């Protein structure tokens, strides 16, 4: 796979936007673009074939979408607190428990993102094989952890707000749909296998 720069005004380029109709992220756009029979000059190539998947940048890049996902979970926490305050339900012990769990989950996610950022900095300062492996390993763990955290936060949020909160004018339903869609990143099972494989090999070697 190679990255190229190509303007869509070429007659041979076909763009299909009709296929993108997701459950969430309705304001986003995604296109299927066919370059069949399109001649692209070598000067428009962005790097060599396969560079898109070059490690540790490809695997380590998962931290970016994990940070966005966690941001949505944090928004749900803030909106839940505001919602409960508006209904004067902040003194309810069960609501306190659920909000407490949400707060712990979000803070845990922030620690994961911070840890991944530190390993990214370490690699950028000293791009050796060991730092690359540590970055990929930690980014993979972060990605899985953030998915679990966001799922937990959404479940707790729904319990806090009930059916009433999922109606307009509240935005919970839209945020949850968007986050549910964005959490569906490629190959989560393969990533988890990589985490387990790295952990097992590290323990065996030590």
Residue the block writes with tokens 């109709």:
21
- Whether residues 35 and 78 share a domain: the answer is no
Tokens of 119: 């390993």
- Whether residues 193 and 96 share a domain: the answer is yes
pLDDT attached to residue 183: 96
d(CA 65, CA 3): 20
- Whether residues 99 and 72 share a domain: the answer is yes
Nearest Cα to Cα of residue 1 among 43, 45, 34? 45
- Whether residues 42 and 72 share a domain: the answer is no
- Whether residues 29 and 60 share a domain: the answer is no
pLDDT attached to residue 32: 78
**CATH of residue 64:** 1.20.140.10
Structural domain tally of the chain? Answer: 2
Q: How far is CA 83 from the centre of its chain?
A: 26
Q: Which of 36, 52, 68 is the last residue of a domain?
A: 52
Tokens of 68: 């966005």
- Which residues of the chain register pLDDT less than 50? 206
| Cα atoms in the 13 Å half-sphere on the side-chain side of 105 | 28
- Whether residues 96 and 171 share a domain: the answer is yes
Q: In terms of residue numbers, what domain contains 8?
A: 1-52
pLDDT attached to residue 110: 98
167-200 burial, b for 16+ CB within 10 Å, e for fewer? eeebebeebbebbbebbeeeeeeebeebbeebee
Could you tell me if 149 and 111 are in contact, meaning their C-beta atoms sit under 8 angstroms apart?
no
- Whether residues 105 and 73 share a domain: the answer is yes
pLDDT attached to residue 100: 99
Secondary structure class of 20 (helix, strand, coil): coil
- Whether residues 45 and 73 share a domain: the answer is no
Give CA torsion, residues 141, 145, 146, 150, to 10 deg: 160
d(CA 1, CA 52): 7
Could you tell me if 35 and 6 are in contact, meaning their C-beta atoms sit under 8 angstroms apart?
yes
- Whether residues 133 and 168 share a domain: the answer is yes
pLDDT attached to residue 206: 46
């Amino acid at each position: 796979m190679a990255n190229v720069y190509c303007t869509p005004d070429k007659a041979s380029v076909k763009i299909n936007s009709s296929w993108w109709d997701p459950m969430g992220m309705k304001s986003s756009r995604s296109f299927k673009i066919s370059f069949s029979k399109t001649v692209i000059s070598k000067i428009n190539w962005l790097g060599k074939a396969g560079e898109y998947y070059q490690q540790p940048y490809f695997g380590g890049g998962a931290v970016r979408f994990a940070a966005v996902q966690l941001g949505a979970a944090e928004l749900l926490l803030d909106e839940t607190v505001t919602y409960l305050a508006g209904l004067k339900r902040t003194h309810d012990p069960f609501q306190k428990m659920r909000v407490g769990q949400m707060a712990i989950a979000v803070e845990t996610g922030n620690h994961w993102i911070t840890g991944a950022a530190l390993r990214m900095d370490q690699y950028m300062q000293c791009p050796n094989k060991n730092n690359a492996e540590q970055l990929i390993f930690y980014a993979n763990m972060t990605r899985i952890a953030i998915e679990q955290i966001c799922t937990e936060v959404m479940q707790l949020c729904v319990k806090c707000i009930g059916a009433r909160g999922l109606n307009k004018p509240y935005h919970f339903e839209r945020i949850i749909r968007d986050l549910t869609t964005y959490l569906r990143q490629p190959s989560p099972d393969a990533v988890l296998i990589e985490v387990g494989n790295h952990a097992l090999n590290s323990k065996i070697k030590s």
